[in-house]
Structure 1
């Protein structure tokens, strides 16, 4: 059984980072997603091996010159057969190419037009360049990642690009597709990484309003490594474990398994004045055993414990192996699609494709006559990697 979005057709205008991630998620969910690459990206015949970029998995690739009049016309023909289009250019670029939302919606009034930017389609920053680190800074997120006495620590580019960006774009597109199925009308989805990153901070805005989060004291709060019972600790072999024993019953289990149940100082779990010293004491305790030894003691208990694993270690861990959290496609280990569905099981449709690898077959499958496809290739409006 195909994934829950089977039957939906989506056009992805090629970009980097959050756009391809959103397209990957939609393809993982069963949608037919075609990636429209720049014609200039085609360097010759597609290599025999799959492209190495996992974010490109699950979709075919067509190369179109969007600066060529016939290339624009071709894309608009595809739009007529699409349910959604996603793009990640700066505001105004799609309009200047002649394929902005007004033009596309005129050709297909039911189209969902998903837009992915860092700053959004409007606002003083909207035309400025930026990256994840900048978006999560302005969103009020980056300031709160880091330890006491240290500067902010960027959490890779997961919060802005992928959590606040690509994930929100995919959610927005799915929501708009659901609405369009009822109203018969499409719309524009303005996804900004700064907006999504701000939403991801919602719980901490709540904590702040409740007086249980000090936004001016990074690394001293409950969930930002301030607490001794919510942090990572180094073991005797140099590896790390994670502890998240927040609730009293889980904290009691932590104390039992570390031999601290009768320690009066550790009984003061929520006394922030004790946290620094208690963390120093736990640091000493966890440094007495290897990570594997602590796993033997704490795994499968209610301590709220897990070893801190690298990507390769995570792929080999028995829990992830049993659940098939990671799969191999074309010889490349990668995360499997998520979430999981009981009836419309999702799967990776194909390995990542090369630019222009499927130009001819995609155009034909989407209703363009073979003689016209030949003419488009001949004119340079589209390119096929052959």
Structure 2
């Protein structure tokens, strides 16, 4: 796999950092998640392919142990608020002195500098600060956040993983590591670069929910079918729009021009009534094989059974029967090979990892006895 041989220390966190670690693990990196001790259950539902080590960082020996693991690794993913790692003496400046090749990724909401650097927040706050939230929502309604996808996962975890891969590539030339300051505010804004740059084209000069791609256009929206399901319509280009009208059995000559903004509400009502006349399956049969850009809105229960997704094996099922998306993108020579065993329990691999990092059985036994580490390998086998 593409990242085989790369060792990553991921300090346990929520949402974006675990996603970043899972991406690296999916593509071959050995990702070691460092969990706290005396925690009954991992909240990381993106532990695929990771190993878990449980360390008590409230002890000096635990901090010293984590230092050893970090300086013997290629990458550290750190999701804490600014200053937390420095208080432990494990900040990036200290780590890079011991291992100049280390890549130290700091993934936070607001970044390492600025007025809000130490402030708490969540996806919706970072999305708000990026400017994007102001553009999300239907006309006449308040802004809404699309789950926690944009800031946490796209602007956070995915962007951080990209930074790590770029730093690994650069290290092959310089031999040096570096610090990655991944801000979810900036990552979300960067993901939204098209919206920023397209303003000069007049694509976003109307109020929220009244533009072509934000539910303002009737030919770029979702419509309920007669069985309570939905179809997604994205017929922007004129030739695609004509195929949409043909599938709906509507006469283009009897309708207003596609780009007549003032007629959009009435056109939407016509589309709404027409889509409500058939089931989702019936509309799928009408539009499959056309370029009308009309597709069913698939539920999680439907998605892996769709013929296209089946043909590409776009979803995988682990040994516990849990289904999830296959890693993307697909590489021709070194594709990802997602681990299909259940996610690790906390401390499942503590002994195994420490042995791989050169600790003796006696040293490990001593740390176990002093509550510096925990090992739950036996529980994992139950």
Give the structure-2-normalised TM-score: 0.95
User: Does 2:279 align with 1:281?
Assistant: no
Give the alignment partner of residue 288 of structure 2, picking from 288, 299, 317.
Answer: 299
Larger mean CA deviation between 310-319 and 111-120 belongs to 310-319
254-263 or 31-40, which moves further after superposition?
254-263
Separation of aligned partners in 1, 2:327 and 2:294: 25
- Structure 2 partner of 1:184: 175
1:74 and 1:86 mapped to 2: Cα distance? 16
SS at match of 1:263: helix
Question: Which residue of the partner structure matches residue 254 of structure 1?
Answer: 244
CA distance in 2, matches of 1:257, 1:79: 59
Query: Among residues 286, 297, 304, which one is paired with 1:315 in the alignment?
Result: 304
What does residue 376 of structure 1 align with? 367
1:154, distance to aligned residue in structure 2 (A)? 1.3
Structure 2: distance between partners of 1:270 and 1:306: 22
Aligned equivalent of 1:233? 223
Q: Residue 21 of structure 1 corresponds to which residue in structure 2?
A: 19
**Mapped contact 1:37–1:63 kept (Cα < 8 A):** yes
Q: Which of 151, 155, 158 is 2:142 aligned to?
A: 151
Kept in 1: contact 2:219–2:235 (CA 8 A): yes
**Aligned residues: CA RMSD:** 1.5
Distance in 2 separating the partners of 1:210 and 1:296: 36
**Structure 2, unaligned stretches of length 5 or more?**
none
Runs of 4+ displaced beyond 4 Å: none
Q: CA deviation at 1:42?
A: 5.4
Please give the secondary structure, in 2, of the residue aligned with 1:355: coil
Distance 1:29 1:73 in 2: 30
Q: Trace 1:36-51 onto structure 2 (pairs within 5 A).
A: 36-41=34-39
Which residue is equivalent to 2:330?
A: 340
What is the DSSP-based 3-state SS (H/G/I as helix, E as strand, rest coil) of the residue aligned with 1:67? coil
Inter-CA distance 53–85: structure 2 relative to 1 (3 Å threshold): closer
Say which structure, 1 or 2, has more relative contact order (CA 8 Å, 6+ apart): 1
Seen in structure 2, the aligned counterparts of structure 1 residues 301 and 127 have a Cα distance that, compared at 3 Å, is: same
Tell me by how many angstroms 1:370 deviates: 2.0
Structure 1 CA distance, aligned partners of 2:306 and 2:56?
45
**In the alignment, what sits opposite 1:242?**
232
Q: How much has 1:40 moved relative to structure 2?
A: 2.4
| Alpha-carbon distance, 1:53 to partner | 5.0
Secondary structure (helix, strand or coil) at the match of 1:56 reads coil
Q: Using the alignment, how far apart are the partners of 2:275 and 2:247 within structure 1? A: 11
Q: Does 1:197 align with 2:178?
A: no
User: Residue in 2 aligned with 1:47?
Assistant: none
What is the SS of the residue equivalent to 2:14?
coil
Contact 2:13 2:44 in 1 (8 A): no
SS in 2 for 1:55: coil
Among 69, 78, 97, the alignment partner of 1:78 is 69
> Where do 5+ consecutive residues of structure 1 fail to align?
44-50
2:164 to 162, 173, 183: 173
- Contact 1:42 1:384 survives alignment (8 Å): no
User: Per-residue deviation at 1:52?
Assistant: 8.5
CA distance in 1, matches of 2:189, 2:250: 39
Once residues 252 and 259 of structure 2 are traced to their aligned partners in structure 1, the CA distance between those partners, rounded to angstroms, is: 17
Which residue matches 1:139?
130
- Equivalent residue of 1:338, what SS? coil
User: What number of residue pairs does the alignment pair up?
Assistant: 375
